[in-house]
Chains A and B, each alone.
Chain A
Amino acid sequence: MTIARLASCLSIAALSAALPLSVAAQDTPSVAFVPQLIGIPYFNAMENGGNAAAEDLGMQFIYQGPVDANPLDQLQIVESLISRGVDAIAVSVLDASAIAPLVDSAASQDAILFTSDSDAADSGRPVYVAQATDEGLGFKLIDELVARVGDDATIGIVSGEATASNLNAWIGFMRDRVAAEYPGVTLLDPEFAGGTAERAAQLSTDLIAAHPDLDAIIAVASSTCPGVAQAIETSGKEIMGTGYCSPNTARAYLKSGAFGFTVLWDPYQLGYLTVWAGKQLIDGAGFAAENEVPTFDAPVTFDAETGILLLGEPFVFTAENVDDFDF
């Protein structure tokens, strides 16, 4: 990891140098989004949604993030955006404890820091643009899976980085749901693959060997989906793969049967909503309990107590509907 970290620092330095030095000098208000990792289809879709919203709303949109899901790199990127005078910065938080202190220091430099896609709940951020509630996602995946593999199943979990707060929250709610509703289900402790698909495949293969009675494996991080699917295909066993996987990543495996279904939301809309929320914050307009957002069919709910702006219900992708999506 150290090597990747050094190299990504170099590339971040290069990227920062290539972008305009001061965005504050321009008249149009600017919103930035810092993903956990650039170069994966999921965050690309958020970037596209953000760009569309920026065009519709007359904003400037900046998209910058680490190349390998590294919390330190993400911190540096957020700090550089604050000092460059960006008006509002949304972060998909990798490490909540690292981001939280920045909320105040951003405010002292006339920037608004908020979270989107992954939260830092106790940081004092004004709003968290949520793709779905962590509870909704954790429950939905377990409900859909138990309906398919039975309420006496043994289920393994392969996650990504152990410090990613959103992934850990989903796993927590999966456990809650199993404990409350499905006493016959055995949910194994999560294994952490870091960011590489190779490691995810090796972990899954070992899980299958360690538990001959395994019925399903959940790929919690999108980066682990192909690895989990590949391990299931190689094993030749009757094991159902699932997870929070984008349609493009899971398409081949949904059609081959290695994956029964996947649960996610539309990141394009999430990116759109993020930039819209940034504009509301910059304008000082705030949020109502129900908000009309341009291009959205249903009103978007805001919970003033938790500060969560909710995109909507999680979506279940299957072999039948996967071709309707492209991200």
Chain B
Amino acid sequence: MNKKILGIFLLALCMVSLAEAQGRKGLRINEVLIVNETNYQDDYGCQSAWIELFNTTFGTVDVRSCYLTNDKNNPKKYPIPKGDVLTEMPPRQHLLFWADGMPSRGTFHVNFTLDPTKDNWIGLYDANGRDLIDSVTVPAGIPADHSYARAEDGVGHWVIKGDDGSGYVTPSTNNITLDKNVKIEMFSEHDPFGVGMAIMAMAIVFSGLLLLYLLFRLIGQISVLIKKRNAMRVHGISDKEEAKEKGFGQESGEIYAAISMALYQHLEVHDVEDTILTINKVKRAYSPWNSKIYSLREIPHKK
């Protein structure tokens, strides 16, 4: 029995390790711009290639100690430095790294550059330098000031975006601007009277409680069966019909309540004494807050 339980526990542990971890695993390379002529400038006033990361999770993620690289054979090419609070990414927010090959300019300047004449593979590795979190291959020949970006933040296919009608380049901000709550708009448009919502929601509430009902009906039946079997054993009855007639297993709570009350009356009944005899030392901690001397009167209690 113990071996079985241990086996189930170990199996559960193995399955836990398969679960997708939250946190850094939720980071995504979100947008890359390689030829920067008139686009975003860094703090030095320089225009360089940039790589935007996006935190897809709803929790803060610190990217320190992760690695950014453009070389599959060297996953630890640029370790994102520790000790900079700015490496903490708030939920659903972005972080921009400059691919200018000048790491001495600060945390967000990586030690490699991107070549516009050929495909650029970019990878983001976890702190162990082995687990690839996300990667993208940016095709060669993307026009200047055009970015290679996900259609939606953190998800979706990659598209080329520029300010020429093919979408906007959006460094450090959302790839799609949401100016309304799509869900609410959809409900307003397709279900203006709320009938659909009422039907769907009631169906869900009913199915939840119906499932609970069916399950506990089954559990109740099993419980009654077990009680019945135990009662038959105690009374030495083997005939199921007889047990059914006597209502074994179906005793109401009222019977038990009456028995309990009778036992209580018989065994526990006391006079009105409010003290007990003891050989233990009785300690009474003194505090002015519980002293009657300092209180004016009792808290009134409405009968």
Do A and B come together as binding partners? no
Interface residues of A (CB under 8 A from B): none
Interface residues of B (CB under 8 A from A): none
